[in-house]
A and B are shown apart, each in its own frame.
Chain A
Amino acid sequence: MRTISVQNADGNQIVINAFPIDEVGANERADYFTKRSVKKESKLSALYLALSMCDLTTLEGADTPGRVQQMCAKARFPVPPEMIEPFLKKKNWGPIPTVAAVCVYPSMVPHAVKALEGSGIGIASVSTAFPSGQAPLQVKIDDTLFAVENGATEIDMVINRGAFLSGDYQQVFDEIVAIKKACGDTHLKVILETGELGSYDRVRLASEIAMEAGGDFIKTSTGKVTPAATLPVTLVMLQAIADFHQRTGKKIGMKPAGGIRTSKQAIQYLCMVNETLGPEWLTPNLFRFGASALVNDLLKQIFKEATGHYYYDKVFSID
């Protein structure tokens, strides 16, 4: 058991325990969820659910207001509503859900707000000098405040990996606390960037710190580092969430991001959540996919279930 302690804002000592993780065992357990066979009506409900959990994302240096507007249109209507109409009479079918949120840089938040007005779709903004997090704390706070003041409903921050890897857990903790404060009521997702942490033991420890410091969600990756989300790394984080819930009664959300491109992968994640945390976590309030390409693959599979054959790629707009 790895035990560290940090001080909270009131000067109280907080002890954080992290179980060691056996890498072989964790990989093996994760692989088990790739063997689940989800067919027929279970598959259909899983596809709908996964779509409603997507954070449609654009995080490029080349992002423009126009690009963000286009993505927001896709978020509102993943497909034109008339496409699904002929199938609505079928049992278990319903309108295609919107995605859960869009995820953009702070400078793009105002454009997303405008484009999504009245849609109920969340606006997530990355912040804290995403993706590296290598900026002074005040800059990170200002970054966050800008996004929140402009209408972001969710903040995706990155942890200070430099501090984490050098063993300065207090710094990591303090930064999350500061950003949480800047967020106010805005939901905070804490990106661990697991691909830079080097071991599952550290993923577990970083998860514990992020939850203790007040993160509402923990998230695997920025999408800018390989490996991004994997099943085993997500499993390690889900188990940390389960223990935190057991200990405090608080339900922390989970967001794997990067590398999830197919419906098959998405369903494996849902099975893992179902069997690790239980069905009460199977809601966009507590589970998200950070992905873009996934949306169209889900649509492709949904229409396959409706028609019995695959539509070719061009049927679905890119964004």
Chain B
Amino acid sequence: MFYREAGDFKTSYREDSQTFPIKFDRLRYYAVLAVAFGVIPLFINDYWANAVFVPFLIYSIAAIGLNILVGFAGQVSLGTGGFMAVGAYAVYKLMTAFPEVSIFFHVLIAGGITAAVGVLFGLPSLRIKGFYLAVATLAAQFFLVWLFNKVPWFYNYSASGQINAPDRTIFGVFVTGAQTSATAKYMFCLVMLTIVAVIARNLTRGTVGRKWMAIRDMDIAAEIIGVNPLSTKITAFAVSSFFIGIAGALFFAVYLGAAEVGEAFGIQKSFLILFMVIIGGLGSIFGSFAGAAFLVLLPVLLKNVLVGTLGWPTDLAAHIELMIVGGLIVIFLIAEPHGLAQLWRVAKEKLRLWPFPH
């Protein structure tokens, strides 16, 4: 009824190929942005920022990054945790070595360093595919974690191998360190996420994204029609690692404040983000958000309901929570193998015809 193309006339190619061609979609998008930037910062407190929003925003960035590689370019990667660690340690070294430069640029440079490392580990993708590539990226995961544990230079020779984020400000407002307000943390991550999501969405709509998808769908055919596999795969690894590096930098500097590589960026992080991408929907930016929301927010919600409201013992609640989340993942993937994004797509198709489906 409200959600329809009819009556929404486009008079230029520009209008016709915009991101949200349907008026209702466009309004909804602006509404979400308005709430995220204008309403939530007014009401956010420490608990909501640190337990809900900041992890959700950061995992969304990481999921978008991985979705570009796995969902759009079809290159399976199990090295996400390792690449996040590169971002975290890069931003730590930059923050401590150049305290006068703004943290905003440090985060971007950390993303750039991660992109370089990602390209390096992406090189084998030119020769190997599928599961074999997954194993090569798994090697990256273990190598990077080992490296950051082994070489004291990366953690500035601290006694325990921990890295601690020093206090840094943007326009005089603390964004890292203990004095950071909930609003500042939230806004910094939100701005980063918005930039990343807009770039990712537009990259995947343009030439670069079409090349990635061509390689994903059939690499030989893509090569025959003139897509260069070298540059395409390398750009996919670079862009993906850039985003994951930003996520890792924020994860350490803004969210945790202190990290040790094995615990914060271990193999389970790689799997967690891969699950976000698969549950959310491969090859969909919205799917990255949905997957991150599902795996970050649901456990917190269940914990609050089971322990806070129902008053269950914490260990029982923790075990039941694992079972519920696991069960839901199975149910979702049986009901809709293409992830939450596909459910959303189907819902939109239905809405277009509603209430007269014939």
| A, B bound | no
